[in-house]
Homo-oligomer: A and B are copies of this chain.
Amino acid sequence: MKLLTVDTVSEAREKLLIAAQQKKKQIEFVELEEAMDRVLASDLVSPEPIPSFRRSTVDGYAVRAADTQGAGESIPVFLEIIERIEIGTPAVRMVQPGQCSYVPTGGMIPEGADAVVMVEYCEAFDTRSMAVYDAVSPGRNLIRIGEDIQEESLFLKKGTRLRPQEIGVLASAGVHTVPVYRPWKIAIISTGDELVPADQKPMPGQVRDINTYVLDAMSRKYGFEVVSKQVLQDQRNLLEKAVDSAMKTCDMVVVSGGSSQGEKDHTADVLDQLADPGVFTHGIALKPGKPTILGYDTLSETILMGLPGHPAAAMIVFELLAVWLYLQLTHQPAPAYTTAVVETNVASAPGKETCLLVELVDGDDGYIARPIFGKSGLMTTLSRAWGYTLIDMNKEGLKAGEPIQVILF
């Protein structure tokens, strides 16, 4: 009775991490235009300061701040205009005491100047002089050299998943080829004599295959490269052939179905036989998700996963284990959660963690989490869910009104 020796979620995670840490990390370089949503594989240090010159943040006059002391709405200070600096061109003349230069937003601050007075507070007196109606302190209305990124500073950390804003940082630092982790190659195998492809009409007793679609979409969401998707009849030799072939090219092989206690359960045997050291987890203390099988093959560096046949359970286990592992190995932070107050009491199974799906509805002080109850075979249950919360195995459920952390998915 293998199912008696189930692992907790954290035991299973620890075993997975120990095994998968043997995998060689693979880094590739992509063009900046293609780097969105990829994960940075090295810390980035800037060889130059950004900006590399002092820039004005307003349209105005670059001045020596000391010259403006005492100026005010009705008491102007008069300064000599020595240059009109154009955007995109260097400032040529040094500002001496009693002088100023026009500078547009984004323009270069000339030597000698240490602040900018906005045009709104300036009035031309004649062609060469300017009345200034504002006292500015040093540093006012300008960005210093290196204020955005200091020279030699670490400006983006390994493990950062590149959002539009990081693409902007990379562009500003002139990084146009970006070191990122090579995405995992993954093979998805769904087994079951009852399965027909989604574009076929099922006969009585048959159902459409869901898991290859769901796991393919999940894989894309996290940036994996799906190498193959297969729906197999539940025959040991077919599974053996498919897994053996997938192990040659993939970082992870995921088999769903065939892992409940049914008569045709071959997944654990096949994975254990083809891999060395083989299967190390024969079930996890998670609801839903108990019939989960985990293993590793050292030679091919392949992570092996047998997922429950129920689509919702398969998706939850994939998220909690496969995605978790990938985030760990690529140094990414845990996914952000949102806080909500649970709407009703929820009982949870003693001795196992419970993954509770919730809908979020607007309450007076933020979200209310409405638990979604339903059998794990039901796909629409999962579709109604905004996210999930994990109930600790040592907790006896949740009380209505209790605050929880919901991970959106």
Show the binding face of A for B, using Cβ within 8 Å. Answer: 32-33, 36, 50-53, 55, 57, 59, 85-91, 104-108, 119, 143, 147-149, 155-156, 163-172, 174-176, 192-195, 198-211, 213-218, 220-221, 234, 260-264, 309, 311-312, 315, 336-340, 360, 365-367, 375, 377-383, 385-386, 403, 405, 408-409
Contact = CB atoms under 8 A, between A and B. Distances in A.
Given A106-B192, A260-B59, A199 B174 contact: yes
Contacts of A91: 205
Nearest to A357: B165
Contact of A148 (B90, B155, B380): B380
Given A198-B174, A263-B104, A403-B366, A205 B89 contact: yes
A217 B377 contact: no
| Identical copies in the complex | 2
A167 B106 contact: no
Given A36-B220, A36-B221, A172 B210 contact: yes
B337 A167 contact: no
A313 to B, nearest CB: 11
Nearest to A149: B380
23 contacts: A32-B213, A50-B379, A55-B207, A57-B377, A85-B205, A87-B192, A87-B193, A87-B234, A105-B261, A106-B377, A163-B217, A164-B218, A165-B379, A167-B213, A167-B217, A168-B217, A171-B208, A172-B207, A174-B201, A175-B198, A338-B339, A366-B403, A366-B405
Contacts of A147: 375, 378
A108 B206 CA distance: 9
B156 A383 contact: yes
Contacts of A213: 32-33, 167-168, 170-171
Contacts of A170: 198, 213
